[in-house]
Structure 1
Amino acid sequence: MTIFELSDLTVNLSVEGGQLGLTDAVSLSVAAGEILCVVGESGSGKSVTMMAALRLMEFTSPIDLLGSARLGEHELLRLSQRQMSRIRGRRVGVVFQEAQDALNPTKTVAHQLAEAYALSHDMRSVRGRRDSRRGDGLSAAVGLLRDVGLDERVLPLYPHQLSGGMQQRVMIAMALIGEPDLLVADEPTTALDVTVQAEILKLIRRLQRDRGIACVLVTHDMGVASVIADRIAVIYAGQVLEVGPREVMLRAPQHAYTKALLECVPRPNTRLVGRMRTIPGQTPQPGKMPKGDRFAPRNALATERDLTEPPPMVWSPDRTHMVRAWAPVTHWTDEAVNRLTGYTADGGNTPVDAAARREPVVELKGVNKTYGVTRQKDYHSIHEHGVPTQGRLASAHRAVQDLTLTIHRGEFFGIVGETGSGKTTLGKLIVDLERADPGSLLSVAGHDLSHRRGLAAERELRREVQMIFQNPSGSLDPRRTIGESIAEPIRALTELNRAAIQKRVRKLLDDVGLPRDAEKRYPSELSGGQRQRVVIARAVAPQPSVIVADEPTSALDVSVQGQVMNLLLDLQREFDLTYIFITHNLSLVTSVADRIGVMLRGELVEVLDPTAASAPPRHEYTRALMAANPDPFAPSVANASAFHAAE
């Protein structure tokens, strides 16, 4: 039975002088007990479609809605916001992308769950005694917490006292507390560790199956869709391009965009030969849509008709699914796929043996980093795999434990592990943003970091060692233009004059693939991928020898991820850079790294050589990380079956 159905849903944004089309005649449906994954790049219209259909966009943007959005017997586009407020939370539960931003930092988990229960059951008071069902709300909250793998110990805690995975579990519990017919999850696993991501996906699948509800999961990751979806819908530039059963969409996609998205996913345990696959070009902006197939300008296989005439949505030749194309592709040759994704075998990364012959550039011996815990009278905390603590504490946390490692000049060294494993702390020690414990020996680019130094030595170290942080938006001053941001480290760390600085800034813009006019623009005017390129240019600007990159691709689309990785590899070859690449994505780093260090609870438990196929991972934790990476190229039925069997 169909629970939720969109028919020709069009979302127009009202602007001065007219309207901009955000989506165009989107038609989708999801049945009870079914999971529909809506897939596409950032800016493709995935979230806009779902948030507009649930009437949430109206709170932030002046929009007009055309078409139909039906939830059971309700036509959502004809309801008032007062009526919609009774639908949301009762008939529809929503899990937003950033749990930390969606949860109220000033209220405990208990209060927020009780509030959600009160709103979904039309209770007049959350705190008072005017409604006898308040106790029912607490019981329901405890039951849901157990369903999502938590218990009542988290009730008195605040969101900041929970891990990212636990915050997401609380969000799921809040979305389900009204016993909805439909669950909408918008990028619920973005930037989570692969192991936590796997747990959240299994949780959503189990709860959805147990409760028989319909689920729409919005994601940019085909790997995620490959393990959880019953059906997959691919959206691009506000249009549905292809929709059908999971096995068909993974095994035999017939639209070029669907195929390109799949090919851009790094394959587990597969070494990169040449450049990473990407989708050339960018998603068109509203108001600047192509005349024909909206993907045609980025499609190297497009025909003249694709470029000039918009194709209809038709059945595929084998009648298995729907595709928007004049000539669906029923057989993909290697040559066609290579053209589509801009793949070339040239430009491979530096061979391991070449890097190994060079001198050490980073040497760590017996490195430790300990953080103390301040004494508090009533301290509460809880961790993903631990137990709550309460009372007076004076303990210490060793983020890095007795770590010994040598990295050679020109090497691409990956560091993987879950959140809390010590990866970022190690990176900060290497760039001297954190001080190691006494007795640790650190040498980076010829600088001894074991002892404090003067300002001149600090300045020289900053010129030699730079860091790319995880969040590009937080790394750039919103009040400075892109040119000013890139010029800042050059001005501070070199002796170049103004003309030479401007010349280097413009060359760096060319090197990272940004247009010259970006020099005068501000960070808010760029996409996420473009901001990441700016951060990379800024790190390369003083011409360092070592760059520590902390999760630089964790929240990027797979196509943009490939572009950023190709850029890093190009810059490595041009400037003879040494990379220390911190990530939780083992599939990605296996493709490009010369060696990979695996960290667990502050210890370096294993160093892998991804080029040696005869040397499989020895440590159980490394094997678990590899198993948690979703693989859309595995036999799809077996892939999903293994995922569901692990629930």
Structure 2
Amino acid sequence: MSNNAQESTRSLLSIKDLGVSYASRDGLTAAVKNVSFTVRRGEVTALVGESGSGKSTVANTVMGILPHSALVQGEALLQLDSGSLALNRLGLRQLQRVRGREVALVPQDPGNSLNPVSTVGGSIAEAMRVHGVRDKRKLRTRVLELLELVGIDNPTRRIEQYPHEFSGGMRQRVLIAAAVANNPRLLVADEPTSALDVTAQRTVLDLLDSLRREIGMGVLLITHDLAVAADRASSFVVMRAGQVVESGAAEEVIGNPQSDYTRQLLADSGLGFAQKLHGLQRIEVSAVTDVSRETFALPVLHAQDSVRPMQLALPTHESAQFLMVEKLRQEYKIRGQKEPFVAADNISFSVARSKTHAIVGESGSGKTTVGRIIAGFVAPVAGSVRLNGDPLSGLHSADLARMRRRVQLVYQNPYGSLDPRMRIGKTLAEPLRNFKLCKSGEISEQVTEALERVGLPANFAKRMPHELSGGQRQRIAIARALIPNPELVVLDEAVSALDVTVQAQILRLLQRLQQEFGLTYVFISHDLSVVHRIADTVSVMQHGRQVETGNVVDIFARPSHAYTKKLLEAIPGKNLASYAVAS
């Protein structure tokens, strides 16, 4: 059999000279130009690139969910046993038969992708019901099986719960369960693990790998996590500004990138940390002193050298405890149960001024609960939180208003934290007006400065939230939190939705602002490589309890608790041992 014939036999999805443009008053704007690549049966093709590069537009073309204003050229061919289907040319009824059964999508945003008035079990069952499964017993059995497969604890209880009762990571797992319910031939996974902690991430990716092998399912994996892509994908397609700048086998793209842009993506990723963590190189701590700050050399890949140290601050022996969290406990009543659910129990730690304390753990471990208590949005049933000696809980109106300026919260879901009816400029101006921070004539200048701080142009002030990518919306959320000049910022998965380039920019931004303005951060994250880059101290949480706390370097290099070791072991990047990462 010829090479071309073999390729045709294994090919599942063929994208050929795909172009997508959007009509507007100013004419056509090209979002994707001349994109070509192949997804083979039983293999994973990773589509990587920064936010706004056109990755999701390609995914939406494959799923047939582009807006009516889109003009599509080229082809997206799905190879079936009965022949090929031009996915971008199917009518609505044909698409309805194909979606879910032949091609399924795992969307990026779990907060807005589940029906809020349907139980999670009902949402998963609906994916099978539309394709003819009517037996209630079979539906329930399959839903319970899927919930267990994607790592949801206690499926018999969770099946009757609603999306608002699940954490962001748990909602993402529900979406994945619904997507794979009918064993599709092609799975389009648009950032399927961006909201997941490392252990849940590994569970989900192992599940996708198992399905891929069992039924020959091909996967188009859209991700900004190059460690995940390197671990799971057989081929890479690198996109920028709507075009493919590089493609090929994963080991070739990582080991010998041909474009400067790919080199920059590698430089901004956490691959260096993954390499050292998994034994390819040993993590070392140096005793470098810079003025009053101790520093350590963290491995970060750069275009100029394979491992170059990034200097980050470690906590000094300051006696001042700017943020004091003491013996926090939070409970929630669960419908149908006598005993309350304990979301956080006996949580204690302190953070010095101008330092960063990270809270890590699996989805549902209580990280966000602790963050919301610190930010003053939830009152604990026991314990206390103090900022520079002042209480942050149990406050009345005037004190609460003053505290709101001192403490800001950046949410995990950037779309849910922005008013969809309000232009970005008005959103950023709102805290300036509420706290009377400047004169009316100065607001526009302050908004422009806030946008520039997070790497966005001034004309974004005129845009609406739906006109921005997920990463751009998250940058707006961060800008809004910083504009009142707070003393403490609680960041709840604030960079999880960002591609590696923007993520690196935001992390550098947060560090610069911390140094310039003396900001203190509580950084909630499931990404341990990010925590290793930005945090001074860390608390590790499991099932609402703090199992370990201390210096980041000490805990990550020498974890004492089995759960911490489990989290570190689950960090992707083991397959990098077979790659010669580019220098």
TM-score, with structure 2 as normaliser? 0.81
* Matching of residue 402 in structure 1 with residue 346 in structure 2: yes
Q: Is the 8 A contact 1:587 1:626 kept in 2?
A: no
From 560, 571, 574, give the equivalent of 2:513.
Answer: 571
| C-alpha deviation, 1:624, in angstroms | 1.6
Structure 1 residue identity aligned to 2:106: V
> 1:415 and 1:167, CA in 2 relative to 1: closer, same or farther beyond 3 A?
closer
1:64-463 maps to which residues of 2 (within 5 A)?
Answer: 64-67=72-75, 69-72=77-80, 73-76=83-86, 77=88, 79-99=90-110, 101-107=112-118, 115-117=126-128, 119-120=130-131, 123=132, 153=156, 157=160, 160=163, 167-169=171-173, 171-266=175-270, 267-268=273-274, 333-334=304-305, 348-353=311-316, 356-357=317-318, 359-373=320-334, 376=335, 379=336, 393-438=337-382, 440-449=383-392, 452-463=394-405
Q: Could you give the per-residue CA deviations for residues 61-114 of structure 1, whole angstroms, max 9, x where no partner exists?
A: 443332452424224155444334433344333333345644445555666566
Query: In 2, distance between residues paired with 1:416 and 1:624?
Result: 12
Opposite residue 443 of structure 1, the aligned amino acid is R
How far is 1:446 from its partner? 2.6
Preserved contact between residue 445 and residue 546 of structure 1 (Cα < 8 Å): no
1:557 aligns with 2:499: yes
Indicate how the Cα distance of structure 1 residues 168 and 577 shifts in structure 2: closer, same or farther if over 3 A, else same.
closer
Instruction: Tell me which amino acid in the other structure corresponds to 2:399.
Output: A
- Cα distance change, pair 264–148 in 1 and its aligned pair in 2 (3 A): same
Whichever residue aligns with residue 220 of structure 2, its letter is: V
What value does the CA root-mean-square deviation take over the aligned residues? Answer: 3.8
Q: How far, CA to CA, are the matches of 2:502 and 2:390 in structure 1?
A: 35
Deviation of residue 585 (structure 1)? 1.1
Overall identity of the aligned pairs, in %: 37
Aligned length: 548
Q: How does 1:394-543 map to 2 (within 5 A)?
A: 394-438=338-382, 440-449=383-392, 452-493=394-435, 497-499=439-441, 504-505=446-447, 507-519=449-461, 521-543=463-485
Residue 620 (structure 1) aligns with? 562
- Structure 2 distance, partners of 1:495, 1:22, is 39
Matched to 2:197, the amino acid is: D
Task: Give per-residue Cα distances to partners, 1:319-361, cap 9 Å, x unaligned.
Answer: xxxxxxxxxxxxx652xx89xxxx996xx544522xx326221
Q: Is the 8 A contact 2:63 2:105 kept in 1?
A: no
1:604 to 525, 542, 546: 546
When residues 95 and 422 of structure 1 are mapped into structure 2, their CA distance, relative to the original with a 3 A threshold, is: closer
Task: Quickly say closer, same or farther: Cα 1:183–1:443, change in 2 above 3 A.
Answer: closer
Q: Indicate conservation of the 8 Å contact 1:609/1:615, yes or no.
A: no
Distance in 2 of aligned mates of 1:156 and 1:575: 47
2:254/2:580 contact within 8 Å kept: no
Q: Is the 8 Å Cα contact of residues 46 and 235 (structure 2) preserved in structure 1?
A: yes
Q: What stretches of structure 1 of length at least 5 have no aligned partner?
A: 128-132, 280-331, 380-392, 640-647
Q: Comparing both structures, which one devotes a greater share of its residues to strand? A: 2
Q: What letter is aligned with 1:567? A: L
For 2:379 and 2:142, the matched residues in 1 are separated by 47
Report if the CA contact (8 A) 1:415-1:581 is conserved.
yes
Amino acid of the residue matched to residue 77 of structure 2?
A
Partner of 1:38: 47
Where do residues 18-37 of structure 1 align in structure 2 (5 Å cutoff)? 18-37=27-46
The separation in 2 between residues aligned to 1:83 and 1:610, in whole angstroms, is 53
- What amino acid is the match of 1:423? K
Give the superposition deviation at 1:442: 2.9
Q: How far apart, in 2, do the equivalents of 1:495 and 1:146 lie?
A: 51
Is contact 1:94–1:185 with CA below 8 Å preserved after alignment?
A: yes
Deviations 1:548-569 (A, max 9, x none): 2221111111111111111111
Q: 1:608 is matched by which residue type in structure 2?
A: G
Shift in alpha-carbon separation, 1:456–1:49, aligned structure 2, 3 A:
closer
- What residue number does 1:63 align with? 71
Contact 2:355 2:536 in 1 (8 A): yes
The one-letter amino acid paired with 2:490 is: V
Encode CA deviations 1:248-297: one digit per residue, 9 max, x unaligned. Answer: 22222222222222221122466897999899xxxxxxxxxxxxxxxxxx
Shift of 1:167: 4.9
1:135 and 1:567 mapped to 2: Cα distance?
53
The answer as to whether partners of 2:347 and 2:546 remain within 8 angstroms in 1 is yes
* Shift, 1:47, TM fit: 2.5
TM-aligned CA deviation for residue 159 of structure 1: 5.0
Contact 2:172 2:196 in 1 (8 A): no
**2:491–2:522 CA contact under 8 A, matched in 1:** yes
Name the amino acid aligned to 1:442.
V
CA distance in 1, matches of 2:115, 2:192: 17
In structure 2, what is the Cα distance between the partners aligned to 1:501 and 1:100?
32
Task: For residue 556 of structure 1, give the secondary structure of its aligned residue in structure 2.
Answer: coil
Partner of 2:288: none
Distance in 2 (alpha carbons) for counterparts of 1:579 and 1:470:
15
Amino acid at match of 2:356: F
* C-alpha contact (below 8 Å) 1:276/1:562 kept by paired residues: no
User: Which residue in the other structure is 1:304 paired with?
Assistant: none
Distance 1:102 1:71 in 2: 28
Residues 476-500 of structure 1: CA deviation (Å, up to 9, x unaligned): 3344444443343344445754456
The one-letter code matched in structure 2 to 1:372 is K
- The one-letter amino acid paired with 1:447 is D
Distance 2:405 2:119 in 1: 45
Structure 1 counterpart of 2:55, one-letter code: K
Deviates more, 1:573-582 or 1:142-151: 142-151
TM (normalized to structure 1)? 0.74
From the superposition, tell whether residues 153 and 78 of structure 1 become closer, same or farther in structure 2 (CA, over 3 Å).
same
Q: Please give the secondary structure, in 2, of the residue aligned with 1:472.
A: coil
Superposed displacement of residue 501, structure 1: 5.8
1: CA distance between counterparts of 2:158 and 2:415?
33
Listed as ranges, the gaps of 5+ residues in structure 2 are: 1-9, 278-282, 286-294
Report deviation, 1:518. 4.3
The verdict on how the C-alpha distance between 1:246 and 1:173 changes in structure 2, with shifts beyond 3 A counting, is same
Indicate conservation of the 8 Å contact 1:350/1:573, yes or no. no
Report if aligned partners of 2:268, 2:504 keep a CA contact under 8 Å in 1.
Answer: yes
The whole-number CA distance in structure 2 between the counterparts of 1:142 and 1:352 is 46
The answer as to whether partners of 2:173 and 2:204 remain within 8 angstroms in 1 is yes
Deviations 1:146-192 (A, max 9, x none): 76567984796355266656655554454445444333322221212
* SS of aligned partner of 1:259: helix
Q: Is the 8 A contact 1:25 1:239 kept in 2?
A: yes
Change beyond 3 A, Cα 1:276–1:455: farther
